[in-house]
Structure 1
């Protein structure tokens, strides 16, 4: 029987290096700051250098945080990122783009861009960074997906498909890396109060969005970060291949509504 080592949450990630894509704002930045407060060296990744440096400065109060610029949609940039970051113990695939379009109006260029960033970038970043984890015999990967992967929303077919692909990769990678002690899980947020969401719905549309939720509010990025922090820690040592909904009950509300339909 495995021995469970009890350690302080405040220091449980000391000596670990965590790389968080899409880490300059929202869920990614909240996650990086929390991991840094728990002792990890956090590497935040984004495309905008100015924004990245600002996020790096803001997060310094939490611990060791540094910024690296990269475009997850560019394979060369992904390879360069893997080299610049060095070996990591924790990888959080949070970067994603989500332009919406009806299927009949979807452009090939935008379709390819969504899959390049949301799926291809994560895939090849894992391929580049997981060998160190496999050799070490431990490591944790968390993919940030979306409630749209399991629930239908008009106008988001390509984004939904990309997040569904990431959930499928979560299960495949969990099986592929399990023998070497590397755990892979996913977190599926619902509507979260990030800059991107607020740009799309606007503060005045909060009620329309939250009416579909079990708990009638948007999630805070820190709530998603707490779940990610748990999954990469030894507190979750027995969890792999799992997707955890952090959606304020939206999935449950939807299932209840669907079951009540005639």
Structure 2
């Protein structure tokens, strides 16, 4: 059976743990050469070594996406070099989640969260998308969040993910006619729990069709779909992969 991303190259930000790692591993399993990006060289090596052990292709590119255009441009250039000169797929996954309430958020924290969660993917897309257009096409996948549309007391983070989802639609309008598809995934409560542990997120999934938290692999499977040819007619969507959390209420019986 042919691999769905065979011969393609991909850059995944925040790929050294959790959802980003699962996406990088899934892309490699489907034949892509993956640039695994993150801040920790040690964790990056672990991901790359694991992909190599399973017969995949991957290289680590260190990046501290602080929101500056220079940092995003440096990552785009470094990833393109190790991927043979082109990036076919970009996954804007890296992000930070502050624990602060509105009243306890200072200006430095506000600026940092917007820098990492909004400015960094904005300038990375600005650096990568034109080269995709020149090469004849590509796919960009952004990571939103279910709390961008279902309010919980996390105003700062939620607002950044709302911005990412709006950027997704705007970029689809801007780059889609030039051959670059732009879509987003909105993960639900996703966490890998240790055996025997009860994660607080389990409570948040009560009253949903799934009835339990999701795993990073569920998000990775959606990313493979949006990166591949099966979604060639899909532009500007936010794909909810959240166990029905935002769209469905299950009546308790």
TM-score greater than 0.5 by the shorter chain: yes
Are 2:3 and 1:11 equivalent residues in the alignment?
A: yes
- CA distance in structure 2 between the partners assigned to 1:124 and 1:81 by the alignment: 10
Deviation digits for residues 24-46 of structure 1 (CA, Å, limit 9, x no counterpart): 11111111111111111011111
User: For the Cα contact (< 8 Å) 1:92–1:143, is it kept in 2?
Assistant: yes
Q: Secondary structure at the match of 1:105?
A: coil
- CA distance in structure 2 between the partners assigned to 1:105 and 1:230 by the alignment: 40
Residue 137 of structure 1: CA displacement?
A: 2.2
Distance change (3 Å), C-alpha of 1:49 and 1:101 = same
- CA distance in structure 2 between the partners assigned to 1:207 and 1:192 by the alignment: 10
Q: Which runs of 5+ in 1 are unaligned?
A: 1-7, 258-262
Where do residues 20-59 of structure 1 align in structure 2 (5 Å cutoff)?
A: 20-59=12-51
1:77 to 71, 85, 88: 71
- Which residue matches 2:138? 139
Between 11-20 and 72-81, report the one with greater CA deviation.
72-81
CA RMSD for the aligned pairs? 1.8
User: For the Cα contact (< 8 Å) 1:72–1:121, is it kept in 2?
Assistant: yes
Deviation digits for residues 104-133 of structure 1 (CA, Å, limit 9, x no counterpart): 111111111111111100000011111111
How many residues are treated as equivalent by the alignment?
242
Deviation digits for residues 146-172 of structure 1 (CA, Å, limit 9, x no counterpart): 001111011x10100000000000000
User: For the Cα contact (< 8 Å) 1:100–1:159, is it kept in 2?
Assistant: no
Q: Secondary structure at the match of 1:110?
A: helix
Q: Secondary structure at the match of 2:103?
A: helix
- CA distance in structure 1 between the partners assigned to 2:164 and 2:130 by the alignment: 20
Q: Secondary structure at the match of 1:129?
A: helix
Residue 214 of structure 1: CA displacement?
A: 2.5
Q: Secondary structure at the match of 2:22?
A: helix
Are 2:109 and 1:114 equivalent residues in the alignment?
A: no
Between 241-250 and 96-105, report the one with greater CA deviation.
96-105
Deviation digits for residues 203-229 of structure 1 (CA, Å, limit 9, x no counterpart): 342432221532111101001100110
- CA distance in structure 1 between the partners assigned to 2:192 and 2:89 by the alignment: 23
User: For the Cα contact (< 8 Å) 2:27–2:34, is it kept in 1?
Assistant: yes
- CA distance in structure 2 between the partners assigned to 1:212 and 1:84 by the alignment: 45
Structure ranking higher in helix proportion = 1
- Which residue matches 1:5? none
Q: Secondary structure at the match of 1:111?
A: helix
Q: Which runs of 5+ in 2 are unaligned?
A: 81-85
- CA distance in structure 2 between the partners assigned to 1:182 and 1:110 by the alignment: 33
Question: If the length of structure 1 is used for normalisation, what is the TM-score?
Answer: 0.87
